[in-house]
Amino acid sequence: MPQNADNVLDHFNLFRQPEYKEMFENKQKNFEAKHPADKIEEIREWTKTKEYQEKNFAREALTVNPAKACQPLGAVFAAVGFESTIPFVHGSQGCVAYYRAHLSRHFKEPTSCVSSSMTEDAAVFGGLNNMIDGLANTYNMYKPKMIAVSTTCMAEVIGDDLNAFIKTSKEKGSVPQNTTFPSPTPRPFVGSHITGYDNVIKGVLEHFWDGKAGTVDKLERTPNNRSTSSAVSMATRSATFARSSASSA
């Protein structure tokens, strides 16, 4: 198997190894009754048509997947979509077990996620040591380029300062100074997993666009009545962001 203790691959690289590709193909063929690729493409195109839009909006008695979960679940889901990125949840391990189980059951695939495993003593004295040790383990195991930190209710209740904890962890050598940390995603009490997903995407975009990554200057917006030069400038920034994300994330 490509995964072993000396060379731990993250999900992005691991699931592209030949063994996993073959396993996914067998799973689709033998257990999922998957439709042919051309049929899937045909339906995908149909969902962009006016006919589909009208049918969609005409629904009255059907609610699709109304279940809602807390912000960190969405944060984990968004983070695993970036290459060489590991979601790190600061808080209790039970919450993280729930996110992993939920995503694994839905996608029928393993989900990588790290917990700082706070327990009673951390709930009383603060979770700084958990984060220092947790980030060190994360880096040694996965060698990520980007770590997306979110919190569970436990860390929020005691008011752990994530930005300060990340800074201290870097100073203590848990991770290299150049490891990318987009803005942490706290507040599991409000919103839902959708809010958490959006916050991680916003945090990543802000990290690279606002110059925090050190790859571009901070984006300065000046009102100019949407002139052509503004549009060109924005397009240039988009291209720069795409390049820096590809190389840094």
Instruction: Decide: is 72 part of the binding site for ligand SF4 (CB under 6 A).
Output: yes
CA distances from 110 to 32, 100, 164 (A): 17, 8, 31
Q: Which of 10, 11, 20, 70 binds ligand SF4 (CB under 6 A)?
A: 70
Q: Which of 194, 242, 167, 247 is nearest to 75 (CA)?
A: 194
The residue within the footprint of ligand SF4, chosen from 12, 15, 24, 98 (CB under 6 A), is 98
Say how far apart CA 145 and CA 10 lie, in whole Å.
11
Q: Per-residue x/- mask for ligand SF4, residues 133 to 152, rule CB under 6 A?
A: -------------------x
**Comparing C-alpha atoms, which of 116, 154, 150 is closest to residue 135?**
116
Which is nearer to ligand SF4, 90 or 145 (by Cβ)? 90
Distance of CA 47 to the CA centre of its chain: 26
Identified catalytic residue from 153, 190, 204, 232: 153
Binding mask 153-172 for ligand SF4 (x = CB under 6 A): x-------------------
Q: Which of 87, 188, 196, 203 binds ligand SF4 (CB under 6 A)?
A: 188
**157 catalytic residue (yes or no):** yes
Bridging pattern class, strands 146-151 and 114-115: unpaired
Cβ–Cβ under 8 Å, residues 84 and 178: no
149 carries an active-site annotation: no
User: Measured between alpha carbons, how far is 128 from 157 in angstroms, rounded to an integer?
Assistant: 14
**For ligand SF4, the closer CB: 15 or 98:** 98
Minimum CB separation of residue 66 from ligand SF4 in Å reads 17
Q: Does 24 bind ligand SF4 (CB under 6 A)?
A: no
**Binding of ligand SF4 by 95 (CB under 6 A):** yes
- Quickly tell me which residue has 């996965």 as its tokens: 142
